[in-house]
Amino acid sequence: MIITDLLERNAKEYKDEVALIEIAPQLMEGAKVTWKEYALIQPNTTEPVREELTWGEFDKKANRFANLLLSRGIKKGDKVAILLMNCLEWLPIYFGTLKAGALAVPLNYRYTAQEIKYCVDLSDSDVLVFGPEFIGRVEEIYDRIPKVKQVFYVGENCPTFAESYNKLVTYCSSKAPDIKITQQDDGAIYFSSGTTGFPKAILHKHLSLIHSAKTEQAHHGQNRNDCFLCIPPLYHTGAKMHWFGSLYAGSKAVLLKGVKPEWILRAASEEKCTIVWLLVPWAQDILDSIDRGEISLDDYDLSNWRLMHIGAQPVPPSLISRWKKHFPLHSYDTNYGLSESIGPGCVHLGVENIHKVGAIGKAGYGWEVKICNENGVSVKKGDVGELAVKGPGVMTCYYNDEKATNEVLRDGWLFTGDMAREDEDGFIFLVDRKKDVIISGGENLYPVQIEDFLRACPHIKDVAVIGLPDSRLGEIAAAIIELKPECMNITEEDITEFCHELPKYKRPRKIIFADVPRNPTGKIEKPKLREMYCGQSLVAQQNEIN
Interval 50-93: pLDDT, tens: 999 999 999 999 999 999 999 999 999 999 999 999 999 999 99
Residue 520: in which H helix or E strand, if any? none
Burial class of residue 343, CB neighbours in 10 A (0-12, 13-18, 19+): buried
Q: How many Å apart are CA 178 and CA 406, to the nearest integer? A: 36
HSE-up of residue 483 (Cα within 13 Å, Cβ side): 14
Angle between helices 206-220 and 3-13 in degrees, nearest 10: 60
The predicted structure's pLDDT at residue 537: 47
Mean of all residue pLDDT scores within the chain: 90
At 143, which amino acid appears? D
- Check residue 441 and give its pLDDT: 65
Q: Is the pLDDT of residue 193 over 80?
A: no
Q: Given pLDDT bands bounded at 50, 70 and 90, which one contains residue 161?
A: very high
Pairing relationship of beta strands 127-130 and 103-106 according to DSSP bridges? unpaired
Q: What integer is the mean pLDDT of 394-407?
A: 95
What DSSP state is assigned to residue 376? S
Q: Tell whether the model's pLDDT for residue 197 goes beyond 60.
A: no
More confident call, 419 vs 293: 293
Instruction: To the nearest 10°, report the CA torsion of 496, 320, 357, 450.
Output: -20
Identity of the residue numbered 464: A
Residue 195 has pLDDT above 60, yes or no: no
12-16, 116-120, 341-345: the lowest-pLDDT one: 341-345
- Distance from C-alpha of 436 to C-alpha of 465, rounded to nearest angstrom: 9
pTM: 0.84
- Domain ranges (residues) in the chain: 437-545
Q: What is the pLDDT of residues 436-447, one digit of tens each?
A: 778 776 667 878
Residues in the chain: 546
Comparing 375-379, 410-414, 516-520, the range with the smallest average pLDDT is 516-520
Identify the pLDDT of residue 171.
Answer: 95
Residue with more model confidence, 43 or 303: 303
Above 90 in pLDDT, residue 38?
no
For domain 437-545, give the CATH number. Answer: 3.30.300.30
Lowest-pLDDT range of 51-60, 276-285, 417-426 = 276-285
pLDDT of residue 540: 46
Write the CA distances from 267 to 41, 71, 181, 229, 523, integer angstroms.
Answer: 19, 40, 37, 8, 24
Question: Residue 545's pLDDT is what?
Answer: 35
pLDDT score at 421: 93
Is residue 142's pLDDT more than 50?
Answer: yes
Terminal C-alpha separation, the chain: 68
Structure confidence at residue 106 (pLDDT)? 97
Mean per-residue pLDDT, 270-297: 92
Per-residue pLDDT of 308-344, as tens digits, reads: 998 766 677 888 999 999 999 999 999 888 899 998 8
What is the SS3 string spanning 27-72?
HHCCCCCCHHHHHHHCCCCCCCCEEEEEHHHHHHHHHHHHHHHHHC
Q: What pLDDT is attached to residue 30?
A: 63
The pLDDT value recorded for residue 298 is 95
Check if the beta carbon of residue 270 is closer than 8 Å to that of residue 303: no
Percent of the residues in the chain that have a pLDDT greater than 90, as a whole number: 70
Which of 44-48, 231-235, 528-532 has the largest mean confidence?
Answer: 231-235
The answer to whether residue 542 scores a pLDDT higher than 50 is no
Q: What is the rounded distance in angstroms from the CA atom of residue 65 to the CA atom of residue 336?
A: 33
How far is it, in rounded angstroms, from Cα 284 to Cα 456? 12
Q: Please give the pLDDT value at position 532.
A: 87
pLDDT at 77: 97
